[in-house]
Amino acid sequence: MNFSGVRIVLRIFLLMLTCAVALSAQETVHLSIDASKPGAKIDRNIFGQFAENLGHGLYEGIWVGPDSLIPNTRGIRNDVVTALQAIKVPNVRWPGGCFADQYHWRKGIGPADKRPATLNSAWGGVVDTNSFGTDEFMDFMLQIGSQPYVSVNVGSGTPQEASEWLEYMTAAAPTALEKERAANGHPDPYKVGFMGIGNESWSCGGDMTADYYVSQLKIYSRFVDNVNPSQKNANQMLKIAVGPGFPETEWTEAVMKAWKSHDWSWNIDGLSVHWYTTPNGWPVSTPSVGFGVEDYTKTLKSTLFMDDFLRKQEAVMDKYDPEKKIALVVDEWGAWHAPLSGTNKDFLVQQNSLRDAVLAALNLNIFARHADRVRMTNIAQMVNVLQAMIMTDKEKMVLTPTYYVYKMYVPFQDATFVPVDFDPGTLHRDGITLPRIDAIAAKDSSGKLWLEITNLDPEKPVEIDAGFTGLTAKSAKGETLTASAVDSVNTFEKPSTVMPKPVSASVKNGRLTLTVEPKSVTVISLEQ
């Protein structure tokens, strides 16, 4: 080989070396986890759910009736209950949503054959038998071990109607409503953990101005009460006001300003906000099946706006409430895709893919980082609607990738946030820039440290190298959720395509190393 040949070979070698160094530098993410600086509690209510009377969310998805051939307990599907028990659902918001401001609770109590059929004009104008009403919802809460979060009707109801509903549910003294509940088979008062005062009152809840809503809020907060004696001093019901479903903060300003000067006669404990991931805006158009990496990155970019959205609202809340007495309650969030073809578009049916699982993890991590203010959230929705945990078709049931994320995150419920410092790296795709990695850590009540790592990269694995302050890690184990494609889904025929599987992680000299697969959600526990 002559001199110029040697130079060419050398150049190629140097180029390869540079690429290898760049690649390995890019592909190892170092995490510094400081367990000596605990943060806020990650309230278990952050993992709440939303079950509106919409499409097949309640009817068929949860309620099949006591005479159904589908195995059930007092009309509620056993398969769905068992699945929900495993994810320890802390609270369920019901009956809506937009439906809440059209719901008249009296139509849903008493003997099933005496209940009137009504129209669900919020969602498709379909006939509602009202066979799933208050007592059935409370039974559902009992069966899955969850707390009720009821939304009262401000839009087309009255304070009196709402007050009587709360009395029906919670009275222990022998009032007419208490006796009516007892006659319906429920002598003991129910515990109601949360009450939402209206829903999206700036739109489907009555298209109110902020000032008008505030005047209603004061009245409902004053006159609608939980009268269960066991919730008088401890475990009091939290009252949640309507907040915005848009980044602008005028509505939050109006509610928080009113709250700041409230007198003894009324109060609130939370402000609800709604923020959906709709990468193409409204009307929604992202497909929930058969999409590619471009749609995946676009959707993740869009979902990360949740962080900015919360910061904007929190800045206003901090101004009026620096002690963070009022919780920010994100009681509707999740991916809202185009309806699946062949379904009723008013039933909001969409498939749930690996993309949605990654999206769920990113949002849960954002909520955990905001845990000092965000103390409750409700993903929309629980069964068969939007970003569902569960899908059913007659006797069949399938658990979605999002369900498995909720299952993997159970250890984070009520755990204490632990800061993780890292450079996430960047991912450039189709003109979109994303972080490659996201991570959170938390310590549970037994002192065990839990680490979650999301790899957003659709193609490349990432090496993780983690060091700890304030604990000596001895061993690690965990699970990862991924699949072959960003649009991989679980179906009734193939229910196990996207399921968690064990991941290998090693701890040497107190440092944790593992490889996280592309487009994956990984949860690791560390033994000390």
Give the binding site for ligand AHR (CB under 6 A).
52, 96-98, 199-200, 332, 380-381, 386
SS (H, E, C) 72-84: EECCEEHHHHHHH
Identify the active-site residue in 136, 164, 178, 200: 200
Closer residue to ligand AHR (CB): 276 or 417 = 276
Alpha helices in 184-292 (DSSP H): 210-223, 250-260
Closer residue to ligand AHR (CB): 51 or 141 = 51
Residue whose beta carbon is closest to ligand AHR: 97
For residue 330, CA distances in Å to 241, 271, 504 come to 11, 8, 35
Contact 45, 414 (CB under 8 A): no
Query: CB of residue 50 vs ligand AHR: minimum separation in angstroms?
Result: 7
Query: CB of residue 122 vs ligand AHR: minimum separation in angstroms?
Result: 7
Is 479 one of the annotated active-site residues of the chain? no
Tokens of 5: 């040949």
Beta-carbon contacts of 225 under 8 Å, excluding residues fewer than 6 positions away, are: 163, 166
Contact 456, 425 (CB under 8 A): no
Closer residue to ligand AHR (CB): 168 or 213 = 213
Is 200 one of the annotated active-site residues of the chain? yes
- Peptide bond before 283: cis, by omega within 30 degrees of 0? yes
Contact 285, 341 (CB under 8 A): no
Closer residue to ligand AHR (CB): 102 or 130 = 102
Query: CB of residue 199 vs ligand AHR: minimum separation in angstroms?
Result: 5
Query: CB of residue 273 vs ligand AHR: minimum separation in angstroms?
Result: 11
- Residue 254, phi-psi category: left (phi > 0), alpha (psi -120 to 50), beta (remainder): alpha
**Location of structure tokens 């290898």:** 20
Query: CB of residue 344 vs ligand AHR: minimum separation in angstroms?
Result: 14
Contact 488, 400 (CB under 8 A): no
Identify the active-site residue in 60, 332, 452, 517: 332
Closer residue to ligand AHR (CB): 43 or 52 = 52
Query: CB of residue 340 vs ligand AHR: minimum separation in angstroms?
Result: 16
SS (H, E, C) 426-443: EEEECCEEEECEEEEEEE
Distance CA(415)–CA(31), nearest Å, equals 20
Query: CB of residue 92 vs ligand AHR: minimum separation in angstroms?
Result: 14
Closer residue to ligand AHR (CB): 60 or 331 = 331
Closest listed residue to residue 198, CA positions, set 234, 251, 261: 251
Full DSSP string of 488-501: -B--SSSTTSS--E
Closer residue to ligand AHR (CB): 165 or 347 = 347
Mind telling me the catalytic residues? 200, 332
